[in-house]
Amino acid sequence: MSQKHQTLGEFIIEHQSSFKYTSGELSRLINSIRLAAKVVNYEVNKAGLVDILGTAGDTNVQGEDQQKLDVYANEKFIQTLVNRNIVCGIASEEEDSFIAINSNDQNHQNKYIVLMDPLDGSSNIDVNVSVGTIFSIYRRVTPVGTPVQEEDFLQKGSEQVAAGYIIYGTSTMLVYTTGDGVNGFTLNPAIGTFYLSHPRMQFPEHGTIYSVNEGNYIHFPQGIKNYLKYCQMEEGDRPYTSRYIGSLVSDFHRNMIKGGIYLYPTSSKNPNGKLRLLYECNPMAFIAEQANGKASDGFSRIMDITPTELHQRVPFICGSSAMVDKAEDFMRDSQSS
Ligand code: AHG
Ligand code: MN
Ligand code: MN
């Protein structure tokens, strides 16, 4: 990559003033995520060489096996945000409850909270397939200087001030939005700098890729089954092609660039879906909408859901808007018939 690209650091400074709250706090927060991303990237890249593959021997609060890299990424992101004294609270997929920072310091003026999935696509770690990190940023709703409360974290996705992901892929990218479009930055590992490589990312309106774990097919709701049959039917630009990596970040990233739809519906195994509203669905929905795409639970907008618990799961359909509209049509039709 040539040096003519703007660096992420330059981009953050240039765009700081266009953000509606201009204290610089959000810029410093994005900067610390950038730092943690580089640290985790370094570890992910040499994962096969050091003793960091495999399970950590523990399960998280959702009963899932924690991988060593899950734990490592979780620690690094939390450590970076805490050390830089940049947020008042953090919630993570890998933590039982939210973390209140400097909760006894009344002079603590930090306004932002972060929710994250520190390592997305854990099942792919051991086999050298792309994984990611997802983050979501809100302003607290309780008064500054008091300890954060659960209500600060249980905000609708539409209240997000920023969201993004890091993809540790063939190259490492940081993609994020502050509500003014989506921009992607690629890491030059030789000098440890992210450069703006994908300005103003947009989902194509239509696409021809569908991403779903079809192994769960027989357990899917009828509307999803009908939609998948529609994807496979020969007509016009169909049959669509199927691509499923099993890392939401990677499947989403490909679909945003090429045009496609990602589905993780309810099933008898996962009656509420598998993906987490606060750590995965809301941030991806915010990015999708900012990139001309759409995110739905099958019937309504993901970002309009009022969360009731930190680790809440929801069905998730996300991608090119015309494709999500079509999937919703099938869901509605099967409900009414
Ligand atoms: P995580 O690794 O954070 O638990 O998330 C895994 C998620 C998501 O990234 C992926 O799309 C999906 O789970 C894969 O689930 P299946 O293996 O059930 O298809
Ligand atoms: Mn995940
Ligand atoms: Mn995870």
Is the domain of 224 the same as that of 187? no
Is the domain of 120 the same as that of 163? yes
Cα dihedral sign, 75-278-99-90: positive
Is the domain of 269 the same as that of 186? no
C-alpha distances in angstroms, 42 versus 19, 53, 80, 126? 31, 14, 15, 16
Query: Rounded distance, CA 281 to CA 287, Å?
Result: 10
Name the nearest CA neighbour of 119 among 183, 180, 39: 39
Q: What is the pLDDT of residue 300?
A: 98
Pocket test for ligand 1, best of 248, 250, 263, 314 (most atoms within 8 A of CB): 248
Q: What is the pLDDT of residue 151?
A: 98
pLDDT along the chain (337 residues), means of 10: 78 81 82 95 81 75 80 95 92 96 81 97 90 97 94 98 96 96 97 97 98 97 98 98 98 98 95 97 99 98 98 98 98 91
Q: What is the pLDDT of residue 68?
A: 85
Q: Which domain does 100 fall in, by range?
A: 3-198
Is the domain of 216 the same as that of 114? no
Answer with the one of 198, 221, 256 that is the final residue of a domain: 198
CA of 4 from ligand 2 middle (Å) equals 34
Residues with CB under 6 A from ligand 1: 64, 93, 117, 120-123, 213, 246-248, 274
Q: What is the pLDDT of residue 7?
A: 96
The domain that holds 273 is classified in CATH as 3.40.190.80
Instruction: Provide the domain count of the chain.
Output: 2
Q: What is the pLDDT of residue 1?
A: 47
The pTM assigned to this predicted structure is: 0.95
Identify which ligand lies nearest to the alpha carbon of 279: 2
The domain that holds 28 is classified in CATH as 3.30.540.10
Is the domain of 56 the same as that of 187? yes
